[in-house]
Structure 1
């Protein structure tokens, strides 16, 4: 459960924006959408390898250039 303390005199829109930001960071919706459909382990592993190689490529480019 997310708790957002609202300060005295704070605009409700600002508090709502903080709530939405905090909710996005918990990745709740991402997990719900991922659970909706089954992903084969081989497909998940392949996607993880592709993501890792992409990140590795970015880091090597940072070191070189």
Structure 2
């Protein structure tokens, strides 16, 4: 659970902005999206390999 202490006289918009920033940094959103649907391990591995190939291709182009 995220706790954001609000200082006296602080604007609620500013506190909300701090809450949102802290929420994104804790990667709670990513965990919730991953749990939403099941991804087979073979498909996850394939996506990881494709991403690695893409990044390697970018690095090769940059080196030339």
RMSD of aligned alpha carbons? 2.4
1:23: how far off?
0.7
Question: How many aligned residue pairs are there?
Answer: 64
Normalising to structure 1: TM-score of the pair? 0.70
For 2:30, what is the secondary structure of its paired residue?
helix
**Structure 1 residue ranges (4+ consecutive) displaced by more than 6 angstroms after TM superposition:** none
Q: CA deviation at 1:57?
A: 4.6
Q: 1:15 to 1:57 in 2, by over 3 A?
A: farther
What is the rounded CA distance, in whole Å, between the counterparts of 1:10 and 1:16 in structure 2? 11
The range that moved more, 13-22 or 23-32, is 23-32
Deviations 1:4-34 (A, max 9, x none): 1212221111000110111112221221121
Q: Which residue of 2 aligns with 1:35?
A: 35
Residue number in structure 2 paired with 1:18: 18
Deviation at 1:52, TM superposition (A): 3.1
For structure 1, the residue ranges without an aligned partner over 5 or more in a row are none
Distance 2:22 2:29 in 1: 12
